[in-house]
Amino acid sequence: MLDLADKVDQACQAIRAKWKKVPHAGIILGTGLGGLTDEIKVEAEFDYESIPHFLKSTATSHRGRLVCGTLEGVPVVAMEGRFHMYEGYSLKQITLPVRVFKGLGARLMIVSNASGGMNPNYTCGDIVVIDDHINLMGDNPLIGINDDKLGPRFPDMCAPYDRALGDAALEIARRENFAAHRGVMVAVSGPNLETRAEYRFLRAIGADIVGMSTIPEVIVAVHAGLRTVGLSIVTDLCLPDALKPADVNEIIAIANHAEPKLRTLVKGILVQDAKAAL
């Protein structure tokens, strides 16, 4: 990890050469969820390959662009698409953009994803406000010699997701009259989806949703001192006794259809937190 600080600095310098503002938040948009960038007043944008040490996104529906500007009048940087372990990248590489958020001055990270719903009370298109997580990816982005400039050796994970902002997200959903739940996410490496036995296991250990992202970014956000909100759209139901083959095109379509709900939550959280910081 001892070369990470230099890599973060080089990426930040490249971004600051075109965009001088200090973002209040960094936003990561997952599968089918890039539409939020349409509402950002764009002041600079970068293809990932143009930023030092950023990766190329190869995942379906991930555009691979960093957008800098204002959302609801609040300065933000937004990743339109993310990187995944199943693309062959290390978790340190995948999570470098989170450290760039921090290096640019962000205080908050809002991260989103599409996930499989294992809780029988969920339905496709529902929003889950992530309350806690289980890392079953078989790796951790903090493994290696710790650089104390980036964060503590043993970051505490008793509350990786900001409880107050999670409550705010649920209140916004109630006000806007759409379904949102508080739940636990488990992350696996992928890229295959799980077997029926694996879904039973994951449900038995306390998970409500399953995905292949988000948790590495949140671990690094905690290490870096960023407050975090995690939002997931349930795009397929993973009920072992009623399981059907997953259709990637259908998953993306459900994410696209539910994306306006996510957009409403992100904007509401962002405005509330920015006002509280004044």
Distance between CA atoms of residues 52 and 106, nearest Å: 19
Distance of CA 235 to the CA centre of its chain: 15
CB atoms within 10 A of CB 25: 24
> What's the CATH fold of domain 4-277?
Rossmann fold (3.40.50)
SS3 of 268, please? helix
Strand partners, 227: 108
Q: Which residue intervals of the chain are DSSP H helices?
A: 4-16, 91-104, 163-176, 196-204, 215-224, 248-277
What DSSP designation does 22 have? Answer: P
pLDDT confidence of residue 108: 98
Q: Contact, 91 vs 187, CB < 8 A?
A: no
Domain boundaries, the chain: 4-277
pLDDT confidence of residue 278: 75
Query: What's the half-sphere exposure (Cβ side, CA atoms, 13 Å) at 67?
Result: 22
Taking CA 90 as the corner, what is the angle to CA 101 and CA 18, rounded to the nearest 5 degrees? 30
Among 252, 232, 258, 206, which Cα is nearest to 62's?
A: 252
pLDDT confidence of residue 54: 95
pLDDT confidence of residue 30: 83
pLDDT confidence of residue 217: 98
- Ramachandran quadrant class, 134 (left: phi over 0; alpha: psi -120 to 50; beta: rest): beta
Predicted TM-score (pTM) of the model is 0.95
Strand-pair category, 209-211 with 180-187: parallel
The dihedral formed by the CA atoms of 42, 48, 49 and 52, expressed in degrees to the nearest 10: 100
pLDDT in single tens digits along all 278 residues of the chain: 678 999 999 999 999 999 999 999 999 998 767 788 899 999 999 999 999 999 977 765 557 899 999 999 999 999 998 999 999 999 999 999 999 999 999 999 999 999 999 999 999 999 999 999 999 999 999 999 999 999 999 999 999 999 999 999 999 999 999 999 999 999 999 999 999 999 999 999 999 999 999 999 999 999 999 999 999 999 999 999 989 888 888 988 999 999 999 999 999 999 999 998 87
